[in-house]
Chain A
């Protein structure tokens, strides 16, 4: 029996070394060599300072730029506290929150009619960190951004259309717009049209 137990403990330790340590380090090594950018979290640098990740949404609340979805990760887009609202569809408190979010979106974007607010822009993503909004949600914000920044609407519409992430392989997913990518491109436009505003909004870039 003791011999048998010793064998079981040996098996446990051996597999721990292989499956926990060996395996993890092997994948780490492959990442280091073959995919260093992805393995490091797809971090974007500007002036050699890290400004965020292409995969993780950011807190875009300023009216001058494209806003993302509401976030329930910490105080909003906190990369260390992923999580959704977990509200049930019949929770009265949730519907009250939604009423505020919808009314605010309508007020900030007067060009949008009631009944036409995109379903995603007033709901939180599952992790609170999703960077994507729908194409409709991006286009709906063009009028507001145009009137505040002075960039012509046609230019902004073109910007959105050039930054659409389509279905992958033409099949998988739903088309959307990555707000991190979109706002980075928008920063170049604002820099061109209104440099003072640029310095004011994009503090992390200057």
Chain B
């Protein structure tokens, strides 16, 4: 770890938090139907859209209808993209004449993109036409918006009392895309373009290098994908290597900018929640919980990667950093971007469940790999669009319940009584997440079809499979990419894990909102457990760590922890 490394990490993180504050106000204005500076431009377009769809924005619905509309709309979007990929050979912008995607891979890909996961069992530049890539961009907008509006519905469930309606799905959805994702995506796409990210409809360019070697370069509309892929915490890049490909991430500045794109909206959503419920202190306390976890994970990853691989040192490599030599574990990392930026990128992409990678996570040191998996297991360190906040609030409900049990009082949360129904739903959401990771993981390591995908021997192979299902269920999409996931078994099992991992928790969470919204608001009394401050912070943190550790530690012990101790003893795996 170097002084300059720590400095650039802190600057990037500080920029995100500083930008998130005004952004959170803007977001709150949008969902509270208040004036925003974009009204003059967006209002006419929006009204035209609502007219075309015959939507009356004042007509709100209950949570069941809201959820149902969202999920059915998701299904139609999934269908259109499934068909485009399946029949891309009949569609335009396919100069390389790539065939239609095989059904199992297409099933996996379409589900993966509609759920904001962006797990990729294909390499974009070798399998997809530009038209197909553009279709995926469509889902990158809509899946991010879907997660976000469900979080908004949840917040309204807390804010409103003795009510029934959580909002109008169409209105929230269109606003999210028109007022948040489209403007930001356009701005950042142009910035990325200026830094060297291509935007063209040519798929391949043949060149003869200065040494006479023939080289083929893959291109396409990359800039437009890179911006929404990160802003929407989708993470599915244009290329197989994602942001490790210089065309997606040409320099250290774009690397920092990519991290900024991933993190700013999720942080702003935490703060928006505080504004909407009228309790900023509560939101900042949850922010502190998430930020603490992020910093701890980051420190672990950065120190491990900067320390480097002891086996290479023994062979004669210099793994300690000096003025001219970056040192550390450079396998799978970009030299100019460096260890510090790469560690921050990896920690951020698993915290914000983006899943974009600027390095080969499979080649990280065992304990860094463990931290990345653990972040996705928790899935609430700010998290992806909307769902990170939902998962955090689910955990808060459980924490408040436990705290209530300890003092023998009916738990209350922001003026609402937390009763059996909410706790059951919260527990179901939490356990569904764990079960959908661990059960398929257990199956995969027990059958030949699962073991066939492994690249690295020993406990690391186990980590590869664990990473895959965790990433799928957390809707992250990054991978220990040594695992060959493009098999019938993995395409289907990961596809299903992604599907259930997305919708079961969301259904439970929106149902909680539907239950909370009916309740009376009880005024604060002397006996009320304050939902902010150090005590609340401790209770939430303890709940997260206890639940997380008890559920997942055994699996982690068998993989990365075992690998780490073997490495310390100088043991290699063959």
Contacts and interface: CB of A to CB of B under 8 A. Distances in A.
Interface of A: 4-5, 7-16, 18-21, 23-24, 26-28, 30-31, 34-35, 38-43, 46, 49-60, 62, 65, 69, 73, 77-95, 98-99, 102-103, 106, 114-120, 122-137, 139, 165, 167-169, 171-176, 178, 183-184, 187, 201-205
19 contacts: A11-B170, A12-B77, A20-B137, A23-B182, A23-B224, A38-B196, A39-B223, A41-B200, A59-B213, A82-B125, A82-B239, A84-B331, A86-B482, A88-B458, A115-B317, A120-B335, A124-B332, A129-B246, A168-B253
Nearest to B461: A88
Contacts of A60: 211
A119 B209 contact: no
B215 A79 contact: yes
Contacts of B366: 88-90
Interface in B155-195: 170, 173, 177, 182, 185-186, 189-190, 193-195
A183 B210 contact: yes
B254 to A, nearest CB: 9
B572 A95 contact: yes
B73 A127 contact: no
Contact of A204 (B76, B170, B205, B211): B211
B211 A62 contact: yes
Interface string B341-372: 10000000000000001111011111000000
A130 to B, nearest CB: 5
A55 B247 contact: yes
A133 B334 CA distance: 9
Contacts of B322: 136
Given A38-B193, A135-B324, A201-B211, A56 B339 contact: no
B284 to A, nearest CB: 28
B119 interface: no
Contacts of A82: 123, 125, 218, 239-241, 244-245
Interface string B287-318: 00000000000000000000011011101111
A106 B223 contact: no
B200 A58 contact: no
Contacts of A83: 123, 240-241, 481
A106 B317 CA distance: 10
A174 B337 CA distance: 6
B236 to A, nearest CB: 14
Contact of B207 (A34, A51, A102, A201): A51
B459 to A, nearest CB: 8
A71 B200 CA distance: 26
B325 interface: yes
A169 B253 contact: yes
Interface of B: 4, 7-8, 11, 49, 52-55, 69, 72-73, 76-77, 80, 123, 125-126, 134-135, 137-138, 141-142, 170, 173, 177, 182, 185-186, 189-190, 193-202, 204-213, 215-219, 221, 223-224, 228, 239-241, 244-247, 250-253, 255-256, 308-309, 311-313, 315-319, 322-341, 357-360, 362-366, 455-458, 460, 480-482, 563, 566-567, 571-574
A59 B211 contact: yes
Contact of A184 (B204, B210, B212): B210
> Considering the complex of A and B, which 6 residue pairs feature the smallest CB-CB distances, nearest first?
A173-B252, A126-B244, A174-B338, A203-B212, A84-B360, A86-B482
B375 to A, nearest CB: 19
Given A24-B134, A28-B221, A122-B317, A89 B365 contact: yes
B182 to A, nearest CB: 7
Considering residues A21, A23, A59, A114, which has the most beta carbons from chain B within 10 angstroms of its beta carbon?
Answer: A23
Nearest to B326: A174
B223 A31 contact: yes
Contacts of A49: 208
A118 B141 contact: no
A90 B563 contact: yes
A168 B251 contact: yes
Nearest to B337: A173
A141 B322 CA distance: 18
Contacts of A127: 239, 241, 244-246, 334
Contact of A91 (B216, B221, B456): B456
Contacts of A7: 53-55, 170
B76 to A, nearest CB: 4
A88 B460 contact: yes
A1 B196 CA distance: 48
B85 to A, nearest CB: 13
Contacts of B201: 28
Contacts of A123: 312, 330-333
A39 B333 contact: no
Contacts of B207: 43, 50-53
B210 A205 contact: yes
Contacts of A24: 134, 137, 221, 224
Given A28-B224, A31-B199, A90-B566, A50 B318 contact: no
Contacts of B341: 172-174
Contacts of A172: 8, 252-253, 255-256, 341
A175 B341 CA distance: 13
Given A15-B142, A92-B573, A136-B325, A8 B199 contact: no
B246 A87 contact: no
Contact of A86 (B77, B256, B319, B360): B360
A38 B222 CA distance: 11
Nearest to B251: A168
A84 B332 contact: yes
Contacts of B334: 125-127, 130, 132
B257 to A, nearest CB: 9
A52 to B, nearest CB: 5
A85 to B, nearest CB: 7
Nearest to B482: A86
Contact of B362 (A31, A43, A88, A175): A88
Considering residues A53, A119, A136, which has the most beta carbons from chain B within 10 angstroms of its beta carbon?
Answer: A119
B336 A132 contact: yes
B53 A14 contact: yes
